[in-house]
Structure 1
Amino acid sequence: HADVLALRLVGADGRLVELDERRDPQALAAARVSLGSLGVATQYTLRVVPAYALERKVWLRPVDRLLEEAPALAASYRHFELFVLPFTGYAAAVAHSPYAGSDVVTPRPADDTVLADLKRLRDWLGRFPVLRSWAAQRLIDPQQTEHARDRGYRLLSTTRSVRFNETEWHLPAERGLDGLRAVIAEIERHHDAFFPIEMRWVRRDEAWLSPFHGRDTCSIAIHAAADEEHETIVREGSRICLSHGGRPHWGKLHTLGATELAALYPRWADFGRVRREFDPQGRFLNAHLRQVFGLA
């Protein structure tokens, strides 16, 4: 959304509204992340860069060691994220760097296999967490790595064949690792957990309702299988991440209303003013948005 330079919206009354940084920079800052509440976007101008290739490396480290190394790794790579594997003592690092070559290396992704193995360990040894960790550390090869090279859009998009529920929170970068450690401790209190916990680093932007507004960010994603209980991760993940200054991902599960959200977003009141100007009758609001904006 930070690369959206101009927008054309159709308002609730059918009026066309043209937004760009020259004509109305504040309205554009509101519209870049507006949850569909300002109008229907029918056209936009997007900042682009020449197509590029990336090289991806995936490797394993003990959790504590990788968390110590993570800030330096995030600063060294174009993209960096990590996945903590609950009850194993290990985490996987995923790093992408620009690549000038033209050869393509696309190994078969191991994500689904790893996830199935973690679920088996949970199913077999979930009531015995010490034994579960002992077995995991003997089954995992800490030397295994994966290398891939391809066009950037192919390596940065991922197919997830296992359905899941997810809550994701965006914390100030300087508080991200403390928040992640608290999330890991909470998740490993629940012996039915097996999904990896994801953390990634995202730069700040200036869109008013962006979770990255005004600050560099660490994003923490907590998952549960679609056919298993997920209310706990939403409730406890929200509690922990809120205590570390987190903002929720708009497209994923959260339970916050207008009062809590207004405390997290410096331009919340300004966005409300723009929303009322664009849609005074609230025709673009559904039940969820009415709760989010305190109009339910």
Structure 2
Amino acid sequence: MIFGSFTDYYAVLGIAPDAGTAEIKHAYRTKAKKLHPDLSGKDAEQFRLLNKAYKAVSDIRRKSFFDTSFDFRDTELRYAKPERPFDYRTWLSERNDEESRAKLIFWDLLHGREDDAVNLFKTLNREIPDFKMSAWFSREDFMDYGFILAEELVFRADFYDAALLLEQIILMEQRRPYFKHFFPEVTALARTILLFHTDGVVHTELALDLWERALEWGFPKKDEAAFLMKMAAAYEKIKDKQAAAVCLNEARRLHASLKVPAKLKHLV
């Protein structure tokens, strides 16, 4: 197959030209599993074409992101002709303002420095009260790259920070859809964290905070009931039987057939 235009690259990935970065990444992962020679036994040429398409489309999206997101406010810096090429990362890393540090996170995330991106994100969360990455980017760029960052946090078992990042994305999507048909992957990641990587992993009070927040994220009633059941167990664990009973009763109201764990049956 000979590529005549970038339209061909989008076709190889099976996405529309206006697809966001997170959707591009998802499409690539899905097809890579099917085409990788070691997994599928298929001709390696298809896999090479897929990688070529992914790199080309990602480069376009990345360039668009940095063209629109990096505001060089220093006029002399913008128009000067330095002796050597301008280094975005060095420029950002030498600045201590919140905006530059936030943008450094996404720069590193997109240039193979995922560990640096995650570490800086966690540092800013600790150092700056109510730190929000979304303050420094367009809505679409934050949602795209914020989701990728959330995936990196999950990979490193930083489930609480990942869930809070996903919360911002989910609430943005509720207000005005951006991910659209791709959004189920966002909610699926959040659901996985809440149901399988919170109880016994995240500190009990933080876990309760996540489950309570998640009741506003638009999950189906069955999932909300499951969150409430976990809240009931957590409250029982910290000896707050009244709150445990309230959560349990609300869970049963939302989903009558939900199984009550043996350790909570005395609250029924």
Give the TM-score normalised by structure 2.
0.31
Structure ranking higher in helix proportion: 2
Larger relative contact order (Cα-Cα within 8 Å, sequence gap ≥ 6): 1
Point out the structure with max Rg over C-alpha.
2
Give the TM-score normalised by structure 1.
0.29
Structure ranking higher in strand proportion: 1
